[in-house]
Every structure is written in structure tokens, then in C-alpha cells.
Structure 1
Amino acid sequence: MMRPLEGVRVLDFSTLLPGPLATLVLAEAGAEVIKIERPGRGDEMRSYMPKFGDDSVNFAMLNRGKRSIAIDLKEKGVVDKLRGLIESADIVVEQFRPGVMDRLGLGYEALSAINPKIIYCAITGYGQTGPRASVAAHDLNYVAESGMLGLSAGADGAPVLPPALIADIAGGTYPAVVNILLALRQRDRTGKGCKLDIAMADNLFTFLYWAIGNGLAAGEWPTPGGDLVTGGTPRYQIYRTKDNKFLAAAPLEDKFWANFIDAVGAPQELLDDSQSPATVKARIQDIIGARTAEHWDAAFEGKDVCCAIVATMQEAMANPHFRERGVFSRELASGGKRITALPVPVQDDFRGSDASSGYPALGEANKDFGLS
């Protein structure tokens, strides 16, 4: 079956994570992604460690199935050299600071004059406009300024470093893909392209819908450790086991909470946790802490309690459920070596049958596009 984005050409000027992951999703759905890199060094992520093949495994995972052109975007006549690609492109993805592509002659106005159908997606931290548009920042800064980081807290009350790059992926990659697909649909109707302004910091507020609602409607602005999903209830909590592992317990609804109380052998008086959540939480911790993770895993088997033992990455990737569903069925290949490819949220029906592919060497497609 033809993949949904076959015949769609993407020029990817982005580096590191948000843009490359967005174009990886497009590539998995059939788009031809041409990665445009600086000569000599290429995308900075190529130099990261550890290595897989000649480049970093990070780069390899994010750029599987793409092609690479090496060209100096500052050299004279670069727009003319890329004109053929610009004319044939459907989508451009870039994540420079606002104004950089314009100064290079490759901004939306310049490219749309050459190809009015082009969909131009600019991914930045703070967007194309506003007082912070040109401020340098990284994922942690966006998470901090959105209020999200302030809702997490460790034992000493300080915010906890997130274990995932939330702003880059949830605020950058995914909104970019969603809006690119919407723009393609709009272009089907109008015949015209557009410019997309994807701001990673802006898009984090979607994840805080409950906090915004509580604050605006009830005047109850959330605090770390004090609300439903920030540790304020025994029904949504992480409990330490006897063998220093952890139980993630989320029996929020009454029926699940009742099942949980029964499964752990807690006194029925703890069913009512509304009067003193902290007391109930402490008593549940005493119960969970008296047994091993293996005991609780067995105790919860087949019961509707919304509980899980916190897994390591190795344990998660060996989990029979994910294996059976084929989450890790595709491979990344380089120099005779193969590892699991990065899973992406593209339905298998929309992806090709080739379960193994590599990543591009720097500039490997220059000759194919007359840029040697």
C-alpha cells in the first residue's frame, strides 16, 4: 500500500532534536526528507557520543531513512544552487532563531516567491514574535517558564529535572507534525502554502490544562505536592517497596481505589481519604514498604488497580507487551551492525515494509542533486 506521504519532498534545515524528529515522523510515513547540513561537520549531533557507525547513535536514530546534502548556506549564490530543490519541495523545516533564514535569503517570503505551494515550518523556543523571540534557551528553560517545572518537587521541595525533553518533543516535534499535516490538507483546497510558527514554550500550556482550569475557575492555583497529579493524594502516588524499588499507584476513581485497598490488605477505614490525605498516604506507604516489588506485582495481577512497578529502560524494552505489539520491531543499520530503531507514533499501516534502514552520510546526496 502506498504510504500517505509518498511523493512529498521535505527540505530539512533543522539540527539536534525537534526538527529532525519531526521530519523522521514524516519520513516514516513516506516523505522524501533531504537534510541540508553544513560542510565538514554537518549537524552538531553527528559528533555526540556514543557512536553508531561513523556518527553518534543520537543522530543515526533521528535521521533514519533520510538523505543528506552538505552546502554552506552563507556562500554566495546558495539560493540559486538550491532553486531546483526549492521548486520541487512541499515542506521546509527549520529551527534557527527568528530572522536567520531571512538573512540567508531562505526565509518564507523568498521561498514562497519561488514556490507558492511551499509549507514553511519554523520551530523555535519562543516563536517568531514577542519580547523573548531571540532569547537563547533549551528545553529545561521552556519547561521552567511555562510553570510546568514548578509543579514537580523532590523530597527537599526543589523541582526535579524531567527525564525527557518535554518541550523539544511535546512542544516542538509533535505540534510541527500536526500543523504540517493540517497545512497539507489546507493546500489541497487552496493550492497555496503557508508559514507555520511553532513555539515550543507556547505549546507546553496544553499539558497544563487542569492547572489553568483550577486557577482560573476556582482560584486554586496548583502547588507541587498539593494537587491530584502533583502528589497531593494517596491515589496518585509513588510508593517505595521493601527492596527499594517503586510502585506507581494511580487508582484515582473510587472503584479502583476500593480494589487497591483490598489488594494491599489495608483497613477499610482508609477508603475515605478525603479528610487526611497525608495520613492515608503515610499508612499506605507503610504497607507497601513492608513487601517487595515482586510481591506487589503478583498481588496486583489480574486486578483493576491501575498500578505498575517502575521499570528500568532495559526492563521496559524487554516487556513482552511492547515486544508483542512490535514497538521495537524496526531496525537501524550501519556498517553491518543493527540496533532497534527509534519508535515513532506512526501507524504501521502508514509505514513501509522495509523494517531495516540506515542513516545518511554527510553530503551523500550532493551529486544526485547537482551540488558536487
Structure 2
Amino acid sequence: MKNTQPLEGLLVLDFTTLLPGPLAALMLAEAGAEVIKIERPGGEDMARFPPLVGGQSAVYAMLNRGKQVLTLDLKSEADRAKLKPLIARADIVIEQFRPGVMARLGLGYDDMRAINRKIIYCAISGYGQSGPRAHEAGHDINYIGATGLLDLQPGPASQPVLPPALIADIAGGSFPAVINILLALRARDRSGEGAFIDIAMTDAMFTFGWYALALGLAGGRFPKSGELQLVGSSPRYRLYPAKDGKLVACGALEQKFWEGFCAAIGLAPEFIDDRRDPNATAEAVAQIVASRSSGEWAPIFAKADCCTTIVAPLEEALRDPHFVERGLFVQRLTLGDGRDIPALPVPVDPQFRAKP
């Protein structure tokens, strides 16, 4: 029996570049949609990001696996005319220009809806299609900075720390785009009408501030930098360097896990009640963890089962038997020099993806 994917038969026109839109379109492609990526002559900026393998950007290849590319100059009336047949049969459009750009080109939602009333048009931008900041330039660091999220734990002023993930791009752009496109498809099944979706990458950053919002709005005092339990104020949820320099990630929040952790490392009884002096407890834990290597600690924490792990470098995580057995890397991507590497893992259940 043929494995029919849930989005098979749907056509997506992808006008996006860099990360948020291309990743959203990739997830739709992985679930069976036909994705045509519209690129300007010369290609998009991501196509020149290193590493270049066989003349092709590996990053670009990862984000655009399974898509077709159509090169058009959107400022050319003749090239825009070539889009009309595609718009007429498209189900979904994703664009990532600043607000108003596509409308000025005659490719806004109203223009496309006049051709195809069933079209679902998703516009991804930093601050949304309306509001005082709608036309403001920005990147991920600006979006998490403008919404209070980065202030919750930027690290010391002398050495501020950036998160290791592009939170606004992916969790504020790509994921909400896919979620709302799927909701719009469901709504279209009932009404027969398409929709305009306004995705502002900044909006979902307030979602990530859920705990700080509850404390501030309901409790009357917003937390200062570093005060939240999950950003470093608690010795139960912290990174501790081991003797060999590797980090131990302690997440022993619940009392049973904390007691198991304390027993595993042999923490002195006077420090176990961390409410009395959290800093003293953290310092005592740090000294003990620093006395042994990560290799010595790993079996101890595994036996204790106390929400504590050794921070793994990415190359080690790729070899972890758990992730390998889960099939995260079975899909393959062919690079420009002919080599096969694992395709980018995406949060699409294997049953909805094509066979590897």
C-alpha cells in the first residue's frame, strides 16, 4: 500500500529566505507538500553561508531539502506574470518580507485572493504587520531583547551570554507559522475560504516568559535578571563544571530528585535545605562536582536517576544510541560533492514523513 502523507497534493509557494520561513516550508515539505521556493536571480543569502561543499551551502541545503527552486525577479512584471498560474493552484503562500513589500509588488494577500480565494497566505515578520514597530529592522537578538525574555538571564554585564538557539526565529517564526497554517487548512475544510496569517516573531517570546509574567502580573513584582528559579537562582537547576571541564546539568527541582542528587554527590546535611542560603548550597555543590571528572560522575547520576546529566557536545549527541534508535537521523541529504549526511531533524512524526 502506498504511504500517503497528510499534506500530499498541496502546493506551497515559499518566498522566504534565511531561517524562519524556509524551516516552516521544510516541515510542510517533509509532511508531503509540494514546495516551490521562489528565489531572486543570484539566489538567496543563505545559499552563500559556509560551509560550502561542492559549491553548495550545506546550511542552505539542509533548510531547503525536497523543494523545487524557481528563479524570478519579482520587480519584473514579466516574471511576476509567470507566478499567476502557480498562485491559481497554490494552497499556501509563505513570505518573509517587511510589511507592505509584497503588496507593492502586486503579490499581497488581496492580490492573490483575487486569483484564488482558497489561498492561505502566511506573512512572517519580526514585529507583525501592524503596530509602531512593524517596519523596524531586527534579528533574533533584537526580538528576544525587546520582549523582556533576554533580560531574564543575560549573564553578568561584563560578559553577557547569548542563548545557543535562535528562539525567535524558530519558536516565534517557524513553529507558529506551521501551527497556524495547519489550523487555516482545517478552517478551509469547513468554510472553503483561505486566510491571511500574521506571524510576528516577537509575539511568541511573551509565551516563553510565562512564569515571569505570572509572577509580575499576579504577584505584583517582576523578577530581576537571574532571579528566576530556572535561570540560575536555584542550586537545583544549574550547570556545574566537573574536574575535566565538562558541565554537569542539574535539573533536580522536585524534592525527591534533589534528595537523590544530594545523596549521590555526598552533600553535607547543612546544605541540603537550599532555602536557607541558596548561594552557599550552590558553592558547596560546585566544589564537590569539581572534584571528579564527568566520566566518573556519569554512572553515579545514571544510577541515582535524579534529573542530572553530563552536557554532551553535539558530535557526541549525534552518536547517542537513544537518538539513533529513535530514528532522528535516518532521513538523508546529499551534498554538492555527492556525500550523504543526516537531514535536519524536524518535529514531524515519522508516520507523516516519506520513507527514508
| TM-score normalised by L of structure 1 | 0.92
Question: Paired residue for 2:18?
Answer: 16
Q: 2:149 touches 2:209 (CA, 8 Å); kept in 1?
A: yes
Measured in 1, the distance between the counterparts of 2:223 and 2:278 equals 16
**Segments ≥4 residues shifted beyond 4 Å:** 155-158
User: Residue 130 of structure 1 corresponds to which residue in structure 2?
Assistant: 131
Task: Give yes or no for contact 2:140–2:166 (8 Å, CA) kept in 1.
Answer: yes
State the shift of 1:15 in Å: 0.6
Asked whether the equivalents of residues 72 and 80 of structure 2 are also in contact (C-alpha less than 8 Å), the reply is no
Aligned-partner Cα distance in 2 for 1:18–1:225: 29
Give the letter for the 1:54 counterpart: G
Q: Aligned AA for 2:44? A: D
The CA deviation string for residues 159-189 of structure 1, in whole angstroms up to 9 with x for no partner, is: 3112111110010000000000000000000
> How far apart are residue 53 of structure 1 and its match?
3.4
Give matches, 1:64-143, under 5 Å: 64-143=65-144
Aligned AA (1:24): L
Gaps of 5+ in 2: none
Asked if 1 retains the 8 angstrom alpha-carbon contact of 2:318 and 2:324, the reply is yes
Q: Which has the higher contact order (CA 8 A, sep 6+)?
A: 1
1:282-293 equivalence runs, <5 A:
282-293=283-294
Where does 1:140-179 land on structure 2 (aligned, <5 Å)? 140-155=141-156, 158-179=159-180
Kept in 2, the 8 Å contact 1:171–1:199? The answer is yes
Match of 1:247 in 2: 248
Question: How far apart are 1:43 and its partner, in Å?
Answer: 1.4
Of 92-101 and 293-302, more deviation after overlay is shown by 293-302
1:56 aligns with 2:57: yes
CA contact (8 A) 2:10 2:33 kept: yes
Distance in 2 (CA, whole Å) between partners of 1:99 and 1:38 is 18
Identity of aligned residues (%): 54
* SS state at 1:167 partner: helix
Deviations 1:99-156 (A, max 9, x none): 0000100000000010000000000000000111011111111011111111123355
Q: Give 1:300 deviation, angstroms.
A: 1.0
Indicate the residue corresponding to 1:44 in structure 2: 45
Q: Is the 8 A contact 2:184 2:195 kept in 1?
A: yes
Deviation of 1:78 after TM superposition, in Å, equals 3.6
Mapped partners of 2:203, 2:89: distance in 1: 32
1:263 is aligned with what amino acid? A
Q: Deviations over 1:216-237 (max 9, x none)?
A: 1112312232221111111001
Residue 289 of structure 1 deviates from its aligned partner by 1.1
Residue among 334, 342, 345 paired with 2:344: 342
Asked whether the equivalents of residues 101 and 107 of structure 1 are also in contact (C-alpha less than 8 Å), the reply is yes
Listed one character per residue, the Cα deviations across residues 238-260 of structure 1 (whole Å, up to 9, x for unaligned) are 11111111111010000100111
Q: Could you say which residue in structure 1 is the equivalent of 2:299? A: 298
Shift of 1:340: 1.2
The code of the aligned residue for 1:90 comes to D
2:282 is the counterpart of 1:281: yes
Secondary structure of 1:247's aligned partner: strand
Distance, in Å, in 2 between the alignment partners of 1:72 and 1:154 is: 44
- The alpha-carbon deviation at position 333 of structure 1 amounts to 0.8
Cα drift, residue 200 of structure 1 = 0.2
Rounded to whole Å, the distance in 1 between the matches of 2:246 and 2:45 is 37
Secondary structure in structure 1 of the residue aligned to 2:322: helix
Shift of 1:336: 2.1
Alignment RMSD (CA, Å): 1.2
8 Å contact kept, 2:23–2:63: yes
Q: In 2, are the aligned partners of 1:261 and 1:270 still within 8 Å (CA)?
A: no
TM-score (norm 2): 0.97
Are the equivalent residues in 2 in contact too, given 1:22–1:176 (CA < 8 A)?
A: yes
Deviation of the 1:268 alpha carbon: 2.7
Contact 1:52 1:60 in 2 (8 A): no
CA contact (8 A) 2:98 2:125 kept: yes
Aligned counterparts, 1:157-306, within 5 A = 158-306=159-307
Residue 331 (structure 1) aligns with: 332
- Write out per-residue CA displacement over residues 50-75 of structure 1, whole angstroms, 9 at most, x where no aligned residue: 11333211100000000010111111
Distance 1:289 1:307, change over 3 A: same
Q: How many residues align?
A: 353
